[in-house]
Amino acid sequence: MSVCEYNPSDKYEMIQRFLLVDDDQDDLELFVIALKKINSSITCYCAMDGCYVMGKLNTGEFKDPQIIFMDINMPEMDGWKCLQKLKLDDDYKHIPVIMYSTSRSPLDARRALEMNALCYFSKPSSLTELTQFLSLISHCDAGNIQHSLQQFKDLKLRDSFIHF
C-alpha cells in the first residue's frame, strides 16, 4: 500500500487547489505539468513573488488555495517574508505552506519549521520525482494534511523532505 493511497470510496477532500510562489519560470512550468499529469482538474495558481501573491489573495483572485508551495529566493518579497505575512494573517494562517527551494541547507529547513511552515521540501531533480511527490500530496486528505505528510518518511524522496 502506498502512502496516502487514494481510494474513491474514502470520504475526504482531496487537494485540488495549489498555489505555487516561485520566480523561476521553468520551475513554474514543471510544477504545472506535474499537476496536470496527476489530474487535469487540479487548479494551480502561480505567482512570481510574495507581493504579487499577497495582492492576489487579498483581492480573491486566488480563491481558497488548499496548500501553498513557497520558494525562498524571490524579488520584491522573498519566501521568508511572505511566509511570515501569511502566518500572521487570520485569513491565511490556516493554509499549509511547504517551503520549496533548491537549497538543501538544514538551516533553511529549521528556519521554515520555526516559522510555522508545514515542512521543507528541496526541489527534486526530475519531473518524475516532482510528480510522485505532488501526486501523494494531491491524494491526501486536505483536512488532515499534517498527518498525511508524517507518512512521507518512507518515500524515496525522503532526503529532500524535512518535516516536523
161-163 and 119-122 strand pairing: antiparallel
- pLDDT at residue 8, rounded to an integer: 44
In a domain, 46, yes or no: yes
Q: Cell numbers at residue 25, please?
A: 519560470
Mean pLDDT, rounded, for 88-113: 92
φ, ψ at 4 (rounded to 5°): 55, 40
Interatomic CA distance for residues 74 and 99, integer angstroms: 13
Average pLDDT, the chain: 83
In a domain, 7, yes or no: no
Query: What total of structural domains would you count in the chain?
Result: 1
- pLDDT at residue 158, rounded to an integer: 42
Residue 97's domain comprises 17-163
Mean pLDDT, rounded, for 54-72: 94
Spatial CA neighbour of 113 closest among 87, 141, 75, 147:
87
Amino acid present at 67? I
In a domain, 47, yes or no: yes
Q: What DSSP line would sit under the chain, residue for residue?
A: --TT---TT--SPBP-EEEEE-S-HHHHHHHHHHHHHH-TT-EEEEESSHHHHHHHHHHTSS---SEEEE-S--SSS-HHHHHHHHHH-TTTTTS-EEEEES---HHHHHHHHHTT-SEEEEPPSSHHHHHHHHHHHHTSBGGGHHHHHHGGGGSGGGGGEEE-
- pLDDT at residue 1, rounded to an integer: 23
% pLDDT > 70, the chain: 80
Whole-number CA gyration radius for the chain: 15
- pLDDT at residue 4, rounded to an integer: 36
From 78-82, 102-106, 139-143, the region with the lowest mean pLDDT: 139-143
114-164 pLDDT per residue, tens: 999 988 888 988 999 899 889 888 887 766 776 666 655 544 444 444 444
In a domain, 69, yes or no: yes
Q: What is the CATH number of the domain that holds 141?
A: 3.40.50.2300
Which of the given ranges, 10-14, 53-57, 135-139, has the highest pLDDT on average?
53-57
In a domain, 1, yes or no: no
